[in-house]
Structure 1
Amino acid sequence: MICGAGCSRNSDERPEAITDFYRDSFEVIGRGTWSFVKVYLCKGSANAYAVKVRQKHKMPVRQTWKYAEKHKWEFAEEKKILSKLGLHSNIVLFITSFTEQAQHFQVFERLYGADLYPSVTGKYGGSHCEKDVVGYMRDILNGLRYCHEKKIIHRNVIPPNLFLTNSGSVKLVGFSLALYAKHDAGCYGIVGTAGYRAPEITWVDVYCYRVDLFACGCILYNLLTGSHPFIHNTRERPFSLTPAWKLISRWARDLVTKMLFFDPNKRITAAQALDHPFFHDVGRVGLNDNLTIAVEELTKFTEHKLWERVASCDDRPYLCQSLRIRKHYGKV
């Protein structure tokens, strides 16, 4: 049995303290805005687990006193979503959670590897091909398709939330902004990371699972060209101006275009994307077997954390484009 997993099923049997099942190794393997990830060892088997620790006193003052109940509810909702996901080869496995007076703990399987982008640039060092990208994107889309079948929207598919394991598979992590779509009517709320956020979220409009596919389009473009599709201007097809764009296969260009449609009704779904020729014609001559330029640019993109600059900028490119689209479809 996984350490503490059985006890998480029955609150009467589970002690409140995480230290009843795990001991802290004091090894920090990741940090976020309001949380960090440490390695804990199971007392019964000495197996290692990754524990996400959210400290209440590290949150802004306005969140600690005015929104204390809100964050308590959000933590409970996140636990429900993680529990619904269960076991999948392309999603980090959630074990259990603990709540103490000053901290929230979430226990996950310990993953061995690194974030996807640093792994790509470090592993290939100038030798990178579309066949590699096919494998990465297939794993990402498989994970998202599973989430969407469970009626869960990730809403924050960004580079730090993609983990490449030592076995070569990509796993989705970072479900703190995920949402359980109870109804088919759609969802509301401005969340996610600007630059990977779908335009309909910026419109403050109703949205659905396809917001994750827009982020996937940005990720796929990153891996193929080494840059971001919307970092230069506000044209409807700004990504076609990148020099590396002309070097990738037509199937890759076609998939990126279908993922980055500003109109969500035209945007491809995860299941449809997995049926795209890009994933089934790996042996064809059209696939580029040398994406050296992409690796060089992706190295700069990763080392200088350019994705954070894109994420920290405002959404004027989206707003300019969305206003034109909303006017065209009679939404303004």
Structure 2
Amino acid sequence: MLCGAGCSRGDFRPATITDFYKDTLTLIGRGRWSFVKVYKSKTGQGEYAVKTRLKKNMPMSQEWNYAEKHEWKFDKEEKILRKLVGHENIVSFVTSFAEQAQHCQVFELLNGADLYRSIIEKNGESHCELDVIIYMRGILTALQYCHKNQIIHRNVIPPNLFFVPSPAGGDVKLVGFSLAVKAKHGEELFGLVGTAGYRAPEITSVNKYHYPVDIFACGCVFYNLLTGTHPFISHTSEGTSFLSPAWKLISADARDLVMRMLLYEDYDRITASQAMFHPFFRNVARTGWRNPLTIAVDGLTEFTQQKMWETVASDDDTSCYCAARESRKSRKNDPKLTKLFW
């Protein structure tokens, strides 16, 4: 508790974001109920990303009022963020401020762009399997750490993957933990959560789920990075498969890992720890690892322009469910895909 300017002795008020940080008025992101701006520290020289949720914009609950539901949710989210601080592939949480009209979370400021845009903005530089190895290693390393700490992210989607460039090349950081949950090994979770198109089958069908849901979503991202398309539905609303022309330039190791991540049954899916030892990451001298994935870049450009993941945490999964159902029909005659996808 800090004493505000002009207050009398013994008169105290809660600390606010403006006590320690100055708003630069630079908007760097906006979500359904929140926005992210750049703030400067008043006690140092650093800049930070501040995520602000206005309480008047948050959905109300018939059972709980705002204070009972959302303040509890923020507290739960921050406990998870604090447990993950320090990992090189996860955004670092700094502090938070619970104010009367808003809730502010302070994070490290990541210089770069979301992963897909960073690939598109390479200005013609080659995008190949070697790049995908770097991206996927970062994502899986982050998920491995989350799962080791009994945390399920539940929303591994393109906007929650940030690429931070560096002299050594750069790395991916996992962000967006608003839907994350702590779950012990063996604990059963239920409910529809996440983003349409990246939800695992067990979530879409409202069955019990656990850590494998993150691997499934990660597999969807992996498929995106290699082909520029979605594993369930193409931009022409037709089912996609490994028969796409893009797969002609992709190695058997990459294809095998995609299949293992997108298996229908959660207990059959590869884990994050197992994936790190897959030949895709170890057999770097394989044929074709430097082939330009031009088709993928073109697809990611269209994918990003259409903003196909804006239904984050939506309860309406009808389009995804129908697309998956149609996609399953198109694959039922392929014996290699019997247990793959829907």
TM beyond 0.5? yes
Moved more, 260-269 or 19-28: 19-28
The 1-side partners of 2:184 and 2:143 are apart by 17
> What letter corresponds to residue 291 of structure 1 in structure 2?
L
More helix by share: 1
Distance 2:16 2:311 in 1: 39
Query: 2: CA distance between counterparts of 1:141 and 1:271?
Result: 8
Which residue number in structure 2 is paired with residue 174 of structure 1? 176
Identity, % of aligned positions: 59
Paired position in structure 1 for 2:283:
281
Which string of whole-angstrom CA distances, capped at 9 and with x for unpartnered residues, describes residues 193-239 of structure 1?
0100111011211111110110111101101000101014797xx42
**1:301 positional shift:** 1.4
In the other structure, the counterpart of 2:77 is: 78
Structure 2: stretches of 5+ with no match in the other structure: 1-11, 333-337
Give the SS at the match of 1:239: coil
CA displacement, residues 244-269 of structure 1 (integer Å, 9 cap, x when unaligned): 12321100100101111011011111
State the SS of the aligned residue for 2:242: helix
1:34–1:58 contact (8 Å) kept in structure 2: yes
Partner of 2:115: 116
Q: Give the letter for the 1:267 counterpart.
A: R
- Secondary structure in structure 1 of the residue aligned to 2:140: helix
Whether 2:191 is the aligned partner of 1:189: answer yes
**Residues 10-34 of structure 1, C-alpha deviation per residue, up to 9 Å, x if partnerless?**
xxx9952122211211111111110
Aligned to 2:233: 231
DSSP-derived class of the 1:123 partner = coil
Q: How do 1:13-28 and structure 2 match up within 5 A?
A: 15-28=14-27
1:45-96 deviation per Cα after TM superposition (whole angstroms, max 9, x unaligned): 1310111001011124558974542111111100111111121100000011
Contact 2:195 2:311 in 1 (8 A): no
**What residue in structure 2 maps to residue 301 of structure 1?**
303
Q: Would you say 1:127 and 2:133 are equivalent positions?
A: no
Q: Indicate the SS of the match to 1:193.
A: coil
Instruction: Measure, in 2, the Cα distance between the counterparts of 1:73 and 1:44.
Output: 29
Q: Work out whether residues 22 and 41 of structure 1, in 8 Å CA contact, stay in contact via their aligned partners in 2.
A: yes
Tell me, in whole angstroms, the C-alpha distance in 1 between the residues paired with 2:91 and 2:175.
Answer: 6
TM-score, normalised via structure 1 length: 0.86
1:263 maps to 2:265: yes
TM superposition shift of 1:122: 1.3
Distance between the aligned counterparts of 2:176 and 2:65, measured in 1?
Answer: 25
Amino acid corresponding to residue 50 of structure 2 in structure 1: V
Number of the residue aligned with 2:3: none
Aligned position for 2:90:
91
How many residues matched?
311
Q: Give the letter for the 1:71 counterpart.
A: H
Alignment of 1:148 with 2:147, yes or no, is: yes
Please state how far the C-alpha of 1:184 moved relative to its aligned partner.
Answer: 2.1
Partner AA of 2:272 in structure 1: A
Match of residue 163 from structure 2? 164
Residues 234 and 318 in structure 1, CA contact (< 8 A), matched pair in contact too: no
Q: For the Cα contact (< 8 Å) 2:120–2:301, is it kept in 1?
A: yes
- Is contact 2:249–2:291 with CA below 8 Å preserved after alignment? no
Give me the whole-angstrom Cα distance separating, in 2, the residues matched to 1:177 and 1:63: 20
Is the Cα contact below 8 Å between 1:214 and 1:260 reproduced in 2? yes
Q: Is the 8 A contact 2:249 2:288 kept in 1?
A: no
User: What is the match of residue 321 of structure 2?
Assistant: 315
8 Å CA contact 2:153, 2:177 repeated in 1: yes
Tell me, what secondary structure is at the counterpart of 1:262?
coil
Q: CA RMSD of the aligned region, Å?
A: 2.7
For residue 38 of structure 1, what is the aligned residue in structure 2? 37
Contact kept in structure 1, 2:49 and 2:106, CA below 8 Å? yes
Q: Secondary structure at the match of 2:220?
A: helix
Counterparts in 2 of 1:309 and 1:296: CA distance versus 1, 3 Å:
farther
- Write the distance in 2 (CA, Å) between the matches of 1:106 and 1:64: 26
Q: Please, what TM-score do these two structures have when normalized by structure 2?
A: 0.84
Moved more, 24-33 or 124-133: 124-133
Which deviates the most, 128-137 or 283-292? 283-292
Distance of 2:288 and 2:45 partners within structure 1: 49
